[in-house]
Chain A
Amino acid sequence: MMAGKRNASRAARSALILVAAGLLAAGCGSSSGGTGGSGGSPGAAATGAAGKVPTANLPTLKTVGKGEGTLNLIAWEGYLQPQWVKPFENQTGCQVHATYAGTSDQMVTLMKNGGGGQYDMVSSSGDADLRIIYAGDARPVNISLIPAWKDFFPAFKSPAFNTVNGVHYGVSLQWGPNVLMYNKKSFPVAPTSWNVIYSPKYKGQVTVPDNPIQIADAALYLKAHNPALKITDPYELTQPQFQASVKLLAGQRPLIKKYWGLASQEISEFKNGDATVGAGWPYQVSALKGTNFPIGAVIPKEGATGWADTWMLAARAPHPNCAYLWMRYISTPKVQAEQAVSYGETPDNKLACPLMNKLQKGSCDLYHANAPQSYFNSISLWKTPVVTCDNGQQDCVPYSQWQQAWTTQVTQ
């Protein structure tokens, strides 16, 4: 009995000593450690819209040298198909190593991974770019080293989401919509409105992305169907507008079969009959069409959200020459056409259109590669919701609240 008590107190004592030792070891690192990623950078304001970019004065590359042999890229699923990656590897000797991400949030996080020296570039969308830039994880790009850039559509040459104060932090890539996908067998007539994914008629057959930015999709729907809310920009929502959107999504949850987080999940859901309608990317549509599955895709009358992607250059890219070689390669009309047709998106290079039609007849029109202004206006491109609304007022709901609401009120 006494021995047991003595043993217990001895165990407790030695445990305390071990933990104290661990504390010491951890404490020894606090002064020296924590580069880059940790410790709030002084310039980044909480609202982020104003404020300095920590890396704005970093030197850019003057000339592109020989490739380093490796290139570490963070990309959306479908952006690094062998069709255009293999020729690049053969031409430049830069072996591409892909890490896939399914949401902009993941991309922002990956860029910070281990102090940020892991990856060379990321194909992030407009809602991630500024966050990456203001966090100091992006490096200025010498745009004169990328000849194909001058052939880009004006809207994508120096867009606000990847160019700050005239400094480019990447090169624009392609852009596209989040489409309404449907199984043609279940929907012989193509749906014309997003209301199908909010309708109890399709309970247990709906799938939407597991991404807080979906709240903007709900806001877009309410913009058309609930004018009293006076929603103008689905990414700038006041509290009442935000709450209404979240409520719509919470009400949608019983209809949802699965919130997909990986592109392949949506492909599998449609293929295996788990879902018959939902929101997705053109990549899933292409993949399903490739297996002769009766999939249809449409941009409903309310419009759609979308994304414009940029290949951002990492602040501490370990292989800058390969990175520039990639930026040059991926912006040429031929590769732009290949990617656009394969994925189903719209290239930023004006000259890609005829090449797209060569790869797949009619694809230039199908994917709006001529980019008529009307199409451009119907897509609400992703951008990071911040407190400062575009009209200067400070009552818009910031993205952190979007994330919280998504986890605790929508998906739970």
Chain B
Amino acid sequence: MEPRGLRIALRIWVVLVLLLLFVPIALILLYAFDRSNVESWPIPGFTVRWFSVAWHDPDVRQALLLSVKVGLLATVIAMGLGTAVAYAVHSFRFFGREAISFFLVLPLALPGIITGIALSSFFAFRGIQLSIVTIVIGHATFCIVVVYNNIIARLRRVPGSLAEASMDLGARGWQTMRFVTLPMVATSLVSGALLAFALSFDEVIVTVFTAGAQNTLPLWIFGAIRLGQQLPEVNAVVSVIIAATIIPVALAARIAGSGSVTRSARAVEKARG
């Protein structure tokens, strides 16, 4: 359908964009082996000691643990609340529905610094001490929105006829939900949860304002950047994380990017003519 010249041009474009995306990533990996502790180019020599340094660094371990904890908590809260709201907004007509869909976008649409300083002054206002709880509150707020968006996008693509058919066959509300709707949104729930966890794990701007004396991994990284004397340790940690996440990300891409539900929905459309 597209002319051949255009296809070739598009292929070249994709390759260029991929190069752009991955040159900095390659650099991150490369500098993890930098012999010098102050980073510059060209790299004077290579060593693997930074991985050992990172492994034995209690600050890294604490920060990593905290980031994982916060990510899991925020994602679980987001999955529960986000799914419930998406389902309600999609299925019921009620007072305030339009406003709710609008307000639910705010945590993502407003810059993170706004959420950060709003929450931090709110906590100060109400005398709430900054702690892991406040970090989770900050993260969960935008995680809910991410999950909500993913699920409602999928719900809108799921033909309502399937749910109706289920009810015509005598299934009750929660049965329809459990056996028909939920499986169809399951993959979007998983990809929404993965995206929410990824955003929480790497979140730095809101966390700067809602964390107390605790360090999540990004805060630890920023502290290391301030010192500037052990940066390859940061690269080592980040490299390990990239390596560790290739598999879940590939899985997630398989689930979300394959468009299987879209295709089956379109097939249903075609069949009904």
Contact = CB atoms under 8 A, between A and B. Distances in A.
A115 B129 contact: yes
A17 interface: yes
Nearest to A273: B40
Given A15-B103, A35-B127, A287 B229 contact: yes
A114 B130 contact: yes
A165 interface: no
Interface stretch (B177-185, B188-196, B219-227, B244-252): B219-227
A29 B103 CA distance: 22
A26 B125 CA distance: 9
B95 A14 contact: yes
B99 A115 contact: no
Interface residues of B, number: 37
Contact of B127 (A7, A33, A100): A33
Contacts of B123: 114
Interface of chain A, helix or strand or loop or mixed? helix
Contacts, number: 113
A132 B261 CA distance: 60
Interface in A284-333: 287-288, 290-291
Given A18-B103, A38-B125, A118-B213, A99 B98 contact: no
B223 A118 contact: no
Interface stretch (A146-154, A175-183, A263-271, A357-365): A263-271
B157 to A, nearest CB: 22
Contact of A267 (B38, B98, B120, B129): B38
A291 B37 contact: yes
A374 interface: no
A115 B37 contact: no
A17 B99 CA distance: 10
Interface residues of A, number: 44
Contacts of A267: 38, 228-229
Contact of B96 (A14, A38, A262): A14
Contact of A72 (B37, B97, B213): B213
A135 B46 CA distance: 50
B123 to A, nearest CB: 6
A264 B226 contact: yes
B98 A268 contact: no
Nearest to A70: B213
B215 interface: yes
Nearest to A74: B213
B96 A17 contact: yes
Contact of B126 (A15, A18, A33): A33
B58 interface: yes
Contacts of A72: 213
A117 B36 contact: no
B113 interface: no
A271 B58 CA distance: 29
A182 to B, nearest CB: 18
Interface in B236-269: none
A77 B100 contact: no
11 contacts: A10-B95, A14-B100, A15-B99, A99-B213, A114-B123, A114-B129, A115-B129, A117-B129, A264-B226, A264-B231, A268-B38
Given A14-B99, A268-B228, 18 more contacts: A10-B96, A14-B98, A15-B103, A77-B227, A77-B228, A78-B227, A97-B213, A113-B212, A114-B120, A114-B212, A115-B124, A117-B129, A118-B129, A118-B130, A262-B228, A265-B228, A271-B40, A272-B41
